Amino acid sequence: MKTVQPKFIVGIGGSAGALNAYKALLNAMPHDTDMAFVIISHMNPTAHSLLAKILQRHTKMSVTVASEAMPMLANHVYVIPPDSDLTMENYSFKVTSPRIGRNKQVDIFFISLAEAMGVRAVGIILSGYDGDGTEGCKHIKANGGKTFAQDMSAEVDSMPLSAWAAGYADFVLPPNKIPAKLKCLAAALKI
């Protein structure tokens, strides 16, 4: 199987209550979308994260913890390392550790995603406290990309509600309905 650059890079931000949303999203996601998925989850800085291992059980795509200079490939899922800020440039990751601040990792990644990918950037905000991701969604939309917020199915609605209330969510859906909409967006993008 040849490796290709993704048509879209999909940033997925979440915090409290997002594990079930990640699982629902990946369970519904085909393994051959030609997209790359990057999960930015708030974690305790000292935690040993098993997120990649847990999520691997919910997709046929490879699930890997992102690392410095790792290339981003289509049909792969990447997870932010603990106590890190993650950005991207030229289809590869940049890792800053320790993280700069608390609960701003989604905004940091989404802003770099918007700048790098333009109309091929997608941001998804799932369950979580606070408003991380709202500013990032603003940047994605300003650069022509698309944004999603989890609907009232979110266990903790602060993060998705913040993006939606600010006017930066193009679509408000349950996680298992997002893959079909992504497929439509990819089909509509001819460039």
What is the reported pLDDT for 39? 97
Task: Note whether 15 and 42 are within 8 A (CB).
Answer: yes
Range with the lowest mean pLDDT among 42-46, 56-60, 123-127? 42-46
Query: Which value, to the nearest 10 degrees, does the dihedral of the CA atoms of residues 111, 81, 148, 132 take?
Result: -60
User: What's the distance, Cα to Cα, between the start and end of the chain in Å?
Assistant: 24
Distance CA 8, CA 91 (A): 11
Catalytic residue selected from 76, 84, 107, 132: 132
- pTM recorded for the entire structure: 0.95
User: What structural domains and CATH numbers belong to the chain?
Assistant: 8-170 (3.40.50.180)
42 is catalytic: yes
Catalytic residue selected from 41, 42, 107, 157: 42
Q: How many CA within 13 A on the CB side of residue 44?
A: 5
139 is catalytic: no
Distance CA 170, CA 113 (A): 17
pLDDT tens per residue across span 62-78: 999 999 999 999 999 99
Burial of 40 (0-12, 13-18, 19+ CB in 10 A): buried
What is the reported pLDDT for 45? 76
pLDDT tens per residue across span 3-50: 578 999 999 999 999 999 999 999 999 999 999 999 999 887 777 789
Distance CA 44, CA 8 (A): 29
Distance CA 170, CA 5 (A): 25
